[in-house]
C-alpha cells in the first residue's frame, strides 16, 4: 500500500469518526449485523436495518459506499443507512473489497453478490424485491450508476465482467456527489484500474455512454462546494437524451457552503432535507 493511500485512509477515518462521534443506534431501528454475503472474511459482510414494529416486506435500499475505491466499510455508513431505515425502508449496508489490493472488478463482483443475497433472502429479512432501490455516493455513486447500466444496456452487459442475478430490477437510484464519465479520467480510477486493459475498463465505466431508455429514474445530488459537481451535468444530459426521469439538485449557496458527501452527516439539517427529497422520489414508485 502506498503512503498516499495510507494518508488518505487516515484522513477520511479521522473526518468520519468526528462526524459520527457520540451517535447511537436510533430507538426506532432494528439491526441485523455482520451477515455474511461473500467469501472474503473481512469485507464479505453486510448489515441490515429496518424500522422496528413493522412486519412484512418493505421497500429496500442497497447502499454502495464511497471512499475512492480504497476506503470505507459498512460501519462508516451505518448511521447514514440507519437514518434511511427510520423513514420506512429496509436498508442493506455492505462492505466490499477495497483497492488497491482488490482492483476492478472486485467491488462490482461484491455488490453483485449483495444483490444476489437480497433476492435470495427476501422472505427472511422482509425485502420487497419489486421495490428495490440503489444509493451511492462519490465512487459509490459511480459504481451504482455503472451497475445499473449493466442491468439495462445489453451491449454493456455483454462486455462487463459481472453478470447480475436473473430478475433483478432497480426501481430508482440515488446518485450522490458522483462521477459518471471515465474516459480520459484515469486519475480518478487509478487505484482500482487493473494493470492491463485500463482503457477498456474506463470505457465500461463511462456510464453516460451506456444510458438507455430502460435506465432507472434517478435523483442526482451534489453541492456548491463538491469538487465533483461538474459531473452532474453530463449525467443529466445523458438521461434527458433517452427520456429517463430524473431530479437534479445542487444543495447550498454562497452563504451555506456545503461540500462533498455532505448528506452523510445525519446531524446536519441540510443532509436531512436532501435525503428526504431523495426518498420522496423513491416513494413515488410505491403508489
Residue 26: pLDDT above 90? yes
The chain-wide mean pLDDT, for the chain, equals 96
In this structure, are strands 29-36 and 45-51 parallel, antiparallel, or unpaired? antiparallel
**Residue 236 has what pLDDT?**
98
> For residue 195, what pLDDT band results from cuts at 50, 70 and 90?
confident
Question: How wide is the angle at C-alpha 252 spanned by C-alphas 251 and 256, nearest 5°?
Answer: 160
Q: Taking the domains of the chain in order of start, what are their residue ranges?
A: 28-284
CB of 213 within 8 A of CB of 244? Answer: yes
Peptide bond before residue 10 is cis, with ω within 30 degrees of 0: no
For the beta sheet containing 58-64, the strands, ordered from the edge strand earlier in sequence to the opposite edge, are: 29-36, 45-51, 90-94, 58-64, 127-137, 172-176, 218-223, 246-251
Average pLDDT over residues 99-118: 97
CATH number of 28-284: 3.40.50.1820
Residue-wise pLDDT for 198-254, tens only, equals 999 999 999 999 999 999 999 999 999 999 999 999 999 999 999 999 999 999 999
List Cα–Cα distances, 237 to 161, 163, 196, in angstroms.
27, 27, 31
The confidence score (pLDDT) of residue 187 equals: 86
CB 214 within 8 A of CB 248: no
**Is the pTM value of this prediction over 0.85?**
yes
Instruction: Judge whether residue 1 has pLDDT over 70.
Output: no
**Residue 279 to residue 84: CA distance in whole angstroms:** 8
**Residue whose C-alpha is closest to residue 242's, from 211, 217, 220:** 211
User: Tens of pLDDT along 131-169?
Assistant: 999 999 999 999 999 999 999 999 999 999 999 999 999
Backbone angles phi, psi at 48, to 5 degrees: -125, 135
Q: Which pLDDT value is given to residue 70?
A: 96
Place 3 in a pLDDT band, splitting at 50, 70 and 90: confident
**Nearest CA-CA partner of 193 in 111, 104, 109, 106:** 104
Amino acid at each position: 500500500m502506498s503512503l498516499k493511500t495510507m494518508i488518505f485512509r487516515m484522513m477520511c477515518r479521522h473526518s468520519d469518526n468526528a462526524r459520527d462521534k457520540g451517535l447511537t443506534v436510533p430507538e426506532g431501528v432494528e439491526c441485523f449485523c455482520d451477515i455474511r454475503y461473500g467469501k472474503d472474511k473481512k469485507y464479505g459482510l453486510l448489515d441490515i436495518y429496518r424500522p422496528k414494529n413493522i412486519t412484512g416486506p418493505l421497500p429496500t435500499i442497497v447502499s454502495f459506499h464511497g471512499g475512492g475505491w480504497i476506503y470505507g466499510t459498512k460501519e462508516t455508513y451505518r448511521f447514514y443507512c440507519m437514518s434511511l431505515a427510520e423513514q420506512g425502508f429496509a436498508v442493506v449496508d455492505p462492505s466490499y473489497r477495497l483497492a488497491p489490493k482488490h482492483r476492478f472488478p472486485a467491488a462490482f463482483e461484491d455488490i453483485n453478490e449483495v444483490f444476489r443475497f437480497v433476492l435470495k433472502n427476501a422472505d427472511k429479512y422482509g425485502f420487497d424485491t419489486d421495490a428495490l432501490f440503489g444509493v451511492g455516493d462519490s465512487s459509490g455513486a459511480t459504481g451504482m450508476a455503472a451497475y445499473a447500466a449493466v442491468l439495462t444496456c445489453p451491449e454493456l452487459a455483454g462486455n462487463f465482467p459481472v453478470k447480475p442475478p436473473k430478475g433483478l430490477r432497480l426501481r430508482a437510484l440515488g446518485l450522490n456527489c458522483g462521477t459518471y464519465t471515465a474516459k480520459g479520467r484515469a486519475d480518478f480510477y487509478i487505484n482500482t484500474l487493473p494493470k492491463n486493459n485500463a482503457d477498456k475498463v474506463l470505457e465500461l465505466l463511462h456510464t453516460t455512454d451506456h444510458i438507455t431508455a430502460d435506465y432507472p429514474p434517478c435523483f442526482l445530488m451534489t453541492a456548491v462546494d463538491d469538487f465533483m459537481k461538474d459531473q452532474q451535468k453530463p449525467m443529466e444530459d445523458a438521461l434527458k437524451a433517452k427520456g429517463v426521469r430524473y431530479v437534479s439538485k445542487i444543495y447550498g449557496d454562497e452563504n451555506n457552503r456545503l461540500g462533498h458527501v455532505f448528506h452523510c452527516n445525519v446531524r446536519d439539517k441540510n443532509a436531512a432535507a436532501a435525503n428526504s427529497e431523495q426518498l420522496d422520489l423513491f416513494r413515488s414508485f410505491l403508489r
